[in-house]
Amino acid sequence: MYTVPKLDDYSPAALDRAVADLFGALDAEIAALHSESDWKEFRDRWMARKNGVLTQVNDTWLKAAPKDAKRDVGQRVNELKARAEAAIDAAHEKIHASSAVTKLASERLDITLPGIRRPIGVKHPVLRVQDEIVAVFKAMGYSVGEGPEVETDYYNFESLNFPPNHPARDTQDTLFIAGQEQKAARDRLLLRTHTSPVQIRSMEKLAPPVRIVIPGKVHRNDPLDATHSPVFHQVEGLAVDTNITFSDLKGTLDHAMKSLFGSSVKTRFYPSFFPFTEPSADMQVSCIFCGGKGCRKCKFSGWIELLGCGMVDPNVFEFVKQNGYDSSKIAGFAFGMGVERIAILKYGVEEIQLFYEGDVRFLEQFA
């Protein structure tokens, strides 16, 4: 780093050399500047009023000069100061400009680059079918009800006319929540095996007449195979009013199936058993693959079993009688269908697991 030398020789040639040395040092320092803060430090070192290089030049050269050289040295020092200050200012300009260029370069935006494509998600096929089913019933004036997936034994079984120890409970392999032995049987928690508990919950809240569809997830202790999964979805329906008959049930479901599968689909009803309906029926639709002629999918019968239904058992109304459900005055029907089963039929899917594996190659077909 440059320090101002004392001068012994004040001849013009010696002064020229001293000035040239000073500017050599100044130029070398300017060349080494890289940033605004470098420059500020440099400027202060040279231009500080107290002990800056230029002040030192004044003190060391001019004040110490012999009388006869003072005039010449003074003139030279003034020129030197002006030149040095101009060089320091110019250095600032240069630093400033180059940092702006660096900044611009770093912020450069290549507008010709292709953008980032963010794939937009679509509704899962199971939820899509569930929503389609719900929409069919909404169009007929049904409202939508929901309820908890963790249910009590009372809502899942007892109030639906599955008394304790009734063999009908065996048809629904149930997942119970552990550690509830101290609770009364009807208060014990389980994962609901059907969406039917929401029927009772809805009738507790709403006096008749009621028309409601209940979509939701249900759980059973079933091993996974091509058509069974321990978790699946159901849409349940309930209509209660005066003068409701079995032909209302048939007409409603026939219309719903035509809306879902097309107007050429036929329905038929078979006697069945469910604890909460009497009489109960299984409903079949004419095979949507062969139109009823018989194929591998319908096991050459021309029909596919699709849902369970029936007239609400008066025993069920007993549990909500205090809310206006007097079976001598009102009647109702109920039905329930598996959403995956309908999705499998609608989309020709071979394995139920495909719906849950989250494999984009499968799911993107529904986009």
Residues of this chain that interact with Zn ion (CB under 5 A) are: 287, 289-290, 295, 297-298
**Shortest approach of Zn ion to residue 299 CB, angstroms?**
8
* Minimal CB distance residue for Zn ion: 287
Closer residue to Zn ion, CB minimum distance, 298 or 352: 298
**Shortest approach of Zn ion to residue 265 CB, angstroms?**
12
Closer residue to Zn ion, CB minimum distance, 127 or 295: 295
Question: Which SS3 state, helix, strand or coil, does residue 192 take?
Answer: coil
Q: Is 71 exposed, middle or buried, given 0-12, 13-18 or 19+ CB atoms closer than 10 A?
A: exposed
Closer residue to Zn ion, CB minimum distance, 176 or 300: 300
**Shortest approach of Zn ion to residue 302 CB, angstroms?**
6
d(CA 307, CA 280): 11
Closer residue to Zn ion, CB minimum distance, 289 or 356: 289
**Shortest approach of Zn ion to residue 284 CB, angstroms?**
11
**Shortest approach of Zn ion to residue 252 CB, angstroms?**
25
d(CA 216, CA 207): 23
Residue listed under structure tokens 């029907």: 333
Closer residue to Zn ion, CB minimum distance, 52 or 294: 294
**Shortest approach of Zn ion to residue 298 CB, angstroms?**
3
Answer for the pair 285, 265: CB distance below 8 angstroms, yes or no. yes
| Six-digit token string for 101 | 């260029």
d(CA 103, CA 283): 73
Bridge partners, residue 238, by sequence: 212, 334
d(CA 179, CA 189): 10
**Shortest approach of Zn ion to residue 281 CB, angstroms?**
21
Closer residue to Zn ion, CB minimum distance, 265 or 337: 265
Closer residue to Zn ion, CB minimum distance, 260 or 298: 298
d(CA 230, CA 208): 34
Q: Is 332 exposed, middle or buried, given 0-12, 13-18 or 19+ CB atoms closer than 10 A?
A: buried
| Six-digit token string for 172 | 């629904």
- Beta strand 231-241 pairing with 150-152: unpaired
What's the number of CA atoms in the CB half-sphere (13 Å) around residue 97? 6
d(CA 336, CA 213): 9
d(CA 342, CA 288): 11
Closer residue to Zn ion, CB minimum distance, 23 or 300: 300
| Six-digit token string for 116 | 């980032």
Closer residue to Zn ion, CB minimum distance, 290 or 363: 290
| Strand residues in the chain grouped as ranges (E) | 143-144, 150-152, 189-191, 210-219, 231-241, 267-274, 277-286, 303-312, 331-338
Preceding amide of 119 cis, omega within 30: no
**Shortest approach of Zn ion to residue 270 CB, angstroms?**
17
